[in-house]
Amino acid sequence: MSEKINLTLKVWRQKRGEAGGFKTYEAKGIDTDASFLEMLDVVNDEITLKGEEEPIAFEHDCREGICGCCGSLVNGKTHGSHERTTLCQLHMRHFKDGETIVIEPFRAKAFPVIKDLIVDRSGLDQIIAEGGYVSVKTGNAPEASTTPIKKELAEAAMDAAECIGCGACVAACPNGAAMLFTAAKVSQYALLPQGHPERTQRVKNMVAKMDELGFGNCSNEYECAVACPKGIDVKNIARLNREFIKATLSQGK
């Protein structure tokens, strides 16, 4: 059954182009059936009507865990680190009455803060632009059943393709690396025959872009895999490494 709880929030507030800091808010009478973002809605309504400052800016859209918009560090953990759960699907029943919750933006050099809890994750799109697709023009495609694909491969590709691009892997990584994100895309196309003609170029270009944008290096500590709300596995990182080594060895071939 739902009940009402009171919480203290320490929220990161940052204006555009300025340094930020934590500010404390009281969240009173929060229904335990509410989602984390709905709790923030309630707090924002109060801030708005008080009229002393602007409501807390946070990114969100679908609120059903698939668009990848939402995400903050909650008590130091991405999306609050409830296994395989995005922040919008985290419910307040997991918090205790009287608890203090620290909420701050995803931190990484490649994710500069725009305002409050909103960060710029456009780097992830730039990595995809380097080859996170099959270059097929509309109209080029052969009949869909021409190439049978082993069920296991299709399933493994789907495991990788489930990435929602929220950036939690980057924020959770001690090095701010985008390896899991990049690996998921590279893996999807390394597993499926459709991705093979471009596989050499794809992995090289995507890795090069990842480095250029200031993401860190992978030190195989697997924080990303714990943080991923879709449970993308580090086997994809191993596969990315393999693809990269293969691409290097097949130089000029």
Partner 1 sequence: MSIKTTLMTSIGQKLLVATSGLVMFLLFLVPHMGGNVLFLFGPDLFNSYAHHLHQLVPVVIGIELLMLASISVHMATAVRLVLKNRQAADHRLSQKSSAERSLAAKLMPVSGVMIFIFIIKHLLDFKFYEKAKTTLHGIETYDVYAMVLSRFQSDPIHLLFYVGFMIAVGLHLSHALQSALQTYGLYVPREGSKIKLASAVIGWGMAATFAIIPVVAFIK
Partner 2 sequence: MKLDAKIPEGPMAEKWTNHKFRVKLVNPANRRKHKIIVVGTGLAGASAAATLSEQGYQIEAFTYSDSPRRAHSIAAQGGINAAKNYPNDGDSIYRLFYDTVKGGDFRSREANVYRLAECSNLIIDHCVAQGIPFAREYGGYLDNRSFGGAQVSRTFYARGQTGQQLLLGAFGALQKEIKKGGVKMHTRCEVIDIVVIGGQARGIISRNLITGELTRHEADAVVLATGGYGNVFFLSTNAMNCNASAAWRAYKKGAAFANPCYTQIHPTCIPVHGEYQSKLTLMSESLRNDGRIWVPKKAGDKRPANQIPEEERDYYLERKYPSFGNLVPRDLASRNAKQVCDEGRGVGPTGQAVYLDFADAIQRLGKANIEAKYGNLFEMYNRITDEDPYTTPMMIFPAVHYTMGGLWVDYNLMTTLPGLYALGECNFSDHGANRLGASALMQGLADGYFVIPNTINDYLASNKFEKVSTGHDAFAQAEKEAKDKLDRLLAVKGNRTVDDFHKELGHLLWENCGMSRNEKGLTEALEKIPQIRAEFWKNVNVPGSADDLNQALEKANRVADFMEFAELMVRDALDRPESCGGHFREESQTEEGEAKRDDENFCYVAAWEFKGLDEEPVLHKETLEFEEVHLAQRSYK
**Subset of residues 137 to 166 that bind partner 2, contact rule: CB under 8 A:** 137-145, 147-151, 154-155, 157-158, 161-162, 164-165
Residue 96 lies near partner 2 (rule: CB under 8 A): no
Phi, psi of 7 (to 5 degrees): -135, 155
115 binds partner 2 (CB under 8 A): yes
**Least Å from the CB of residue 160 to partner 1:** 13
Q: Does residue 238 touch partner 1 according to CB under 8 A?
A: yes
What span, in angstroms and rounded, lies between the C-alpha atoms of 102 and 79?
12
x/- mask, partner 1, residues 94-133, rule CB under 8 A, reads: --------x-x--xxxx-----------------------
Q: Whole-number minimum distance, CB 225 to partner 1, in Å?
A: 5
Residue in the structure block whose two tokens are 């960060």 = 119
- In the complex, the smallest distance separating the C-beta of residue 142 from partner 2, rounded to whole angstroms, is 7
Using the rule CB under 8 A, give the single segment among 25-33, 74-82, 144-152, 156-164 that binds partner 1.
74-82
Backbone angles phi, psi at 101, to 5 degrees: -115, 130
Would you count residue 171 as binding partner 2 (CB under 8 A)? no
Q: Identify which of 188, 168, 182, 187 has the alpha carbon closest to the alpha carbon of residue 230.
A: 168
Per CB under 8 A, does 45 bind partner 2?
yes
Under the binding rule (CB under 8 A), the answer on residue 79 touching partner 1 is no
Degrees (nearest 5) of the Cα angle 85, 206, 191? 70
204 interface partner picked from partner 2, partner 1, none, CB below 5 to 8 A per type: partner 1
The DSSP bridge partners found for residue 13 are: 21
Residue 26 Cβ vs partner 1, minimum distance, rounded to whole Å: 19
- The answer to the question of residue 245 lying near partner 1 (CB under 8 A) is yes
DSSP one-letter string for 113-145: EEETTEE--HHHHHHHHTTSS----TT-PPPTT
In degrees, to the nearest 5, what angle opens at C-alpha 201 toward C-alphas 238 and 174? 40
Residues 6+ apart with CB under 8 A from 117: 11, 12, 56, 57, 58, 59, 72, 103, 104, 105
Strand partners, 113: 119
Q: Where along the sequence are the contacts to partner 1 (CB under 8 A)?
A: 20-21, 73, 75-77, 81, 102, 104, 107-110, 171-177, 179, 204, 207-208, 210-211, 214-223, 225-227, 233-235, 237-245, 248, 251
